[in-house]
């Protein structure tokens, strides 16, 4: 039996369940190990290999989620800050939601992988979460899901109805512009140019009025183009101009890796980067709607950088070559 052919889709499934790419990889490995050990008991008359593997993966995920806190984003924990100068103190005790590195699994553009939706799903009870993904995303029948969960069809349908109701306020995924949409590319291109130049007014012009900026593992977040701009002004005052950017996608959304200029403060603030190259600063994942940036989730977790295979430092010459 070819288990490896299903690894990619099982990883995206476990990611939706756990909200962590690293945990998803571990749980898929556990799923493969359990399947290998139980291969002699597999009965193809009762289920396909794919359905059987999803049953194992679901049990692995539900076990992993027992007694676990959900993985949130900062905006899911409280009101926005009104102080752009607030201390940037990481909350390392919180298991933050992680982004998904599209390029590593060639997932393509998937509306069901959006950060906002994955974050909202973490609020659901684990079994409701499983029912929602298995039925709505993977399109298993209610009978198949009932068998996978050791439940009944009425119970599965009830859980699906409750999950749909809980996510009703997440928004229409169709309103979110895809990364390869010409309008989205134009907006991100303009954002990149303004970001590299530390041009705060240029950034603000590209935002919706109620744009959200959040920065896990720092629990602060901001709402509104004014506070977004004030915070970015603070960042550029600390780090200077002359930033470098690599463009990516994450969760089917436009993303960029931001590299801060190195060198002494005077040269860096002058925009030259001090000749010392660029050091990885953050991974930023954007939501573009109506030709404007509505949301930017800025990740500063080294494990996120590792998942995306991002080099920690790039020389000025190398950066110009790889952009």
Using the Cα atoms of residue 171, residue 173, residue 178 and residue 183 in order, give the sign of their dihedral: negative
**Confidence (pLDDT) at 271:** 42
**Confidence (pLDDT) at 150:** 92
Stated pTM of the model: 0.89
Asked if residue 39 lies in contact with residue 26, where contact means CB atoms within 8 angstroms, the answer is: no
**Confidence (pLDDT) at 275:** 52
Topology, domain 176-322: Nuclear Transport Factor 2; Chain: A, (3.10.450)
pLDDT tens, per residue, the chain with 323 residues: 778 889 999 999 999 999 999 999 999 999 999 999 998 888 888 888 999 999 999 999 999 999 888 999 999 999 999 999 999 999 999 999 999 999 887 655 567 889 999 999 999 999 999 999 999 989 999 999 999 999 999 999 999 999 999 888 775 544 566 677 888 899 999 999 999 999 999 999 999 999 999 999 999 999 999 999 999 999 999 988 889 999 999 999 999 999 999 864 433 444 444 456 899 999 999 999 999 999 999 999 999 999 999 999 988 666 555 55
**Confidence (pLDDT) at 107:** 57
Number of Cβ within a 10 Å radius of residue 205: 14
**Confidence (pLDDT) at 134:** 95
**Confidence (pLDDT) at 268:** 41
Mode of pairing for the β-strands spanning 278-289 and 292-299: antiparallel
Domain ranges (residues) in the chain: 176-322
Using the Cα atoms of residue 111, residue 117, residue 121 and residue 122 in order, give the sign of their dihedral: positive
| 3-state SS, one letter per residue, for 3-31 | CHHHHHHHHHHHHHHHCCHHHHHHHHHHH
Asked if residue 114 lies in contact with residue 173, where contact means CB atoms within 8 angstroms, the answer is: yes
**Confidence (pLDDT) at 174:** 45
**Confidence (pLDDT) at 254:** 94
255 — alpha (psi -120 to 50), left (phi > 0) or beta?
Answer: beta
| Nearest partner of 60 among 92, 94, 93, 37, judged by Cα | 37
Give the integer Cα–Cα distance in Å for 111 and 92: 29
**Confidence (pLDDT) at 164:** 92
């Amino acid at each position: 039996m070819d288990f490896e052919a299903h690894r990619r889709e099982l990883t995206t499934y476990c990611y939706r369940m756990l909200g962590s790419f690293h945990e998803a990889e571990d749980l898929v490995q556990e799923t493969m190990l359990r399947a290998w050990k139980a291969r002699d008991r597999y009965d193809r008359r009762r289920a396909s290999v794919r359905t059987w593997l999803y049953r194992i993966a679901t049990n692995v995920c539900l076990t992993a989620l027992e007694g676990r806190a959900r993985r949130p984003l900062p905006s899911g924990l409280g009101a926005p800050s009104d102080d752009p100068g607030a201390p940037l103190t990481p909350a390392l005790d919180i298991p933050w939601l992680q982004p998904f590195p599209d390029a590593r699994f060639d997932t393509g553009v998937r509306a069901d992988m959006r950060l906002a939706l994955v974050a909202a799903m973490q609020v659901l009870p684990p079994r409701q979460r499983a029912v929602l993904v298995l039925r709505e995303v993977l399109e298993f029948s209610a009978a198949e899901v009932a068998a996978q969960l050791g439940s009944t069809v009425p119970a599965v349908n009830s859980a699906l109805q409750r999950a749909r109701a809980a996510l009703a306020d997440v928004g229409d995924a169709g309103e979110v512009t895809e990364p390869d949409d010409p309008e989205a590319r134009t907006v991100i291109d303009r954002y990149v140019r303004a970001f590299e130049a530390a041009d705060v007014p240029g950034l603000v012009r590209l935002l919706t009025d109620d744009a959200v900026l959040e920065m896990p593992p720092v629990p602060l977040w901001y709402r509104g183009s004014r506070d977004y701009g004030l915070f970015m002004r603070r960042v550029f005052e600390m780090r200077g101009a002359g930033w470098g950017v690599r463009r990516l996608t994450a969760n089917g959304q436009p993303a960029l890796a931001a590299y801060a200029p190195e060198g002494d403060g005077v040269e860096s603030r002058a925009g030259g980067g001090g000749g010392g190259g660029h050091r990885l600063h953050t991974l930023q994942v954007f939501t573009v709607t109506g030709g404007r940036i509505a949301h930017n989730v800025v990740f500063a977790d080294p494990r996120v950088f590792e998942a995306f295979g991002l080099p920690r430092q790039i020389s000025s010459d190398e950066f110009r070559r790889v952009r």
